[in-house]
Structure 1
């Protein structure tokens, strides 16, 4: 990217930057590293619209990294409920405690990479945005911008090294954090996967994908594999206006989260009398969760009042299952 193009992008960012609660306005002192790190973790596989109110709620409850580090695991997991990809929450807890123990975030990308849950992208983003270090920040949106600007037609996976080389050449020494966020905004709001708004793009004059006449064809789309389908069983145990809940094992899917009790999921349909079934999609497989009544509690857990079920921190799968059963109960009672 020519220096003039980087300047054009920063000028555009100065006028059109998204106002987000974890950001500082363009050209302002960098934001708290805690805010940058927290937002980047929350935004992995999750939209800005979903994250924004949850981010505000989380920092209102734990305004500093030390406060988050001191919070019980169960409370953090409950706060994370509904955001999905629950390994992020477990890494969030581990990282917060390590950062608190060392007295703050390290400013270098290499040291940030050593923290729990910080991969190449997150470490580069925190280094650039929070500490002003020149770091090559590449998320999916940024990779798409680069692929189109440089006319790279292979899939993002196939062209990873080429994209990194071009991204490195693009990244300026001055205002690297604003530049990284400008690229993110460009990919999220203008250079979208479908129907890119090329007419208002500050880089359109030199974009090779646009010059081809078919910018949407850059980069090529990776063929998706069909996800395997699994089945699960959840016990609905109700007594005196309360539901029996357990906590899933710390490791594995939905690790550490509140849940309806039941065996591990597998390929076979459970041979029990089911009250209801729900479908849910995970990244690598789809799940049919079958819900059956049971009289006695199973495993270590607690009675959660139905009137306060929303406070249990159920992940989406089990919140959907509980909602289905409660709706069924209302219909039968009508």
Structure 2
């Protein structure tokens, strides 16, 4: 079977071949009506059309590559984000170079330097801290970039993330409706926007539903990992905190709770209910299956890629911050508190 051609894309979108060519080329997309450009990109994606980046590069001196900076490739939330990014970038003629930083600033700096030496035309960054000097430096150098799943403070860079306040509110409301009043929040690192926003949202939701607001029932984890979640829950239990449910900062922290439940013969959800955040794959295979706030990761990646294409083609356009709505997936890890 022959691969789809530019003419096939043009026919599917109902436009002239030259219009399709301009719409698929980030350098000339601004010459096409935005609705028409989106129609052409959708047609290219549906047909599986792939422009030839080598041929285009010879004409434009552009690399046709975008750098994607990930903090931890072993975290299962990132593959659907990557897939969403590639589903948008590939029809536009871009390849994605993925680097992993292991949450280490020196490694991040060297990896981004490597991407720039390869002439990456823009960056999608999932490693942003609230205070991030390297990103500020890149911004000052007018490097096109978009933040995904994170944001920074006082930096004019586009970002796309889940609506953390809405998601935590869904989790707390679910537990409150079941009858829980003493909730423990295992918060993510407070150096990240997600950690800060989810903690603030937890405090607000506890007030909104008139639950017990003991500040001791907030324990901050030092990383977004299973091990950190286990350490935090052990410290809360060792301190004698009276809790009936846990709102975990993310699904990996919630998995750490499962480890502690097994160690201490705590029945979940009979003794303690737990809610995660992110909607990672395979959570339904746990025992009990994990109730979680599901984030539309594929859509996050798609929107981040669209925003980066805009930043590359229209560098003077004001950056946007987009929040996508999460949803609550109720499974077996939550029930009414034991009388």
- TM tier relative to shorter chain: under 0.3
Structure-2-length-normalised TM-score: 0.22
Structure with bigger strand share is 2
